[in-house]
Amino acid sequence: MKIITLHTTTDLSQLYLLLQEKLNPLFHEQRQSDINFQVKLNGEAIEISQPELYDGALFSIAINGDELWITRNEHYVDDVNSLTIESILNDLFADASGNLGTDLVQEG
């Protein structure tokens, strides 16, 4: 799990809307690919998946206070699409935190 501190208050619905709006267009731009990922609310988490290519969610993101708890599917850690999604998420989270930036609390 990777834990990132945003230093700003956000809620699951705001984060969900941000990912719904920006994830696929940024992915298409970076990878020059027409693969579309599903962004879904699943209880208290946001899941990013592509069922035609991957078993299960590639990422699950939960909010705990000002921290994002990000779980990445261990079967696809070296997959280029998964790495691209992770890079996009890092950029979006940095943007969401404004000039306060983000801190990596834990990665493992």
The pLDDT of residue 107 = 62
The pLDDT of residue 102 = 63
In this predicted model, what pLDDT tens digit does every residue of 51-103 receive, in sequence order? 999 999 999 999 988 889 999 999 888 899 999 999 999 888 887 766 655 65
The pLDDT of residue 78 = 82
The pLDDT of residue 88 = 95
- Against a cut of 0.85, is the pTM above it? yes
Cross-sheet strand order for the sheet of 45-49: 38-42, 45-49, 59-64, 67-72, 2-5, 103-107
What is d(CA 108, CA 105) in angstroms, rounded to the nearest whole number?
Answer: 10
Domain ranges of the chain: 2-107
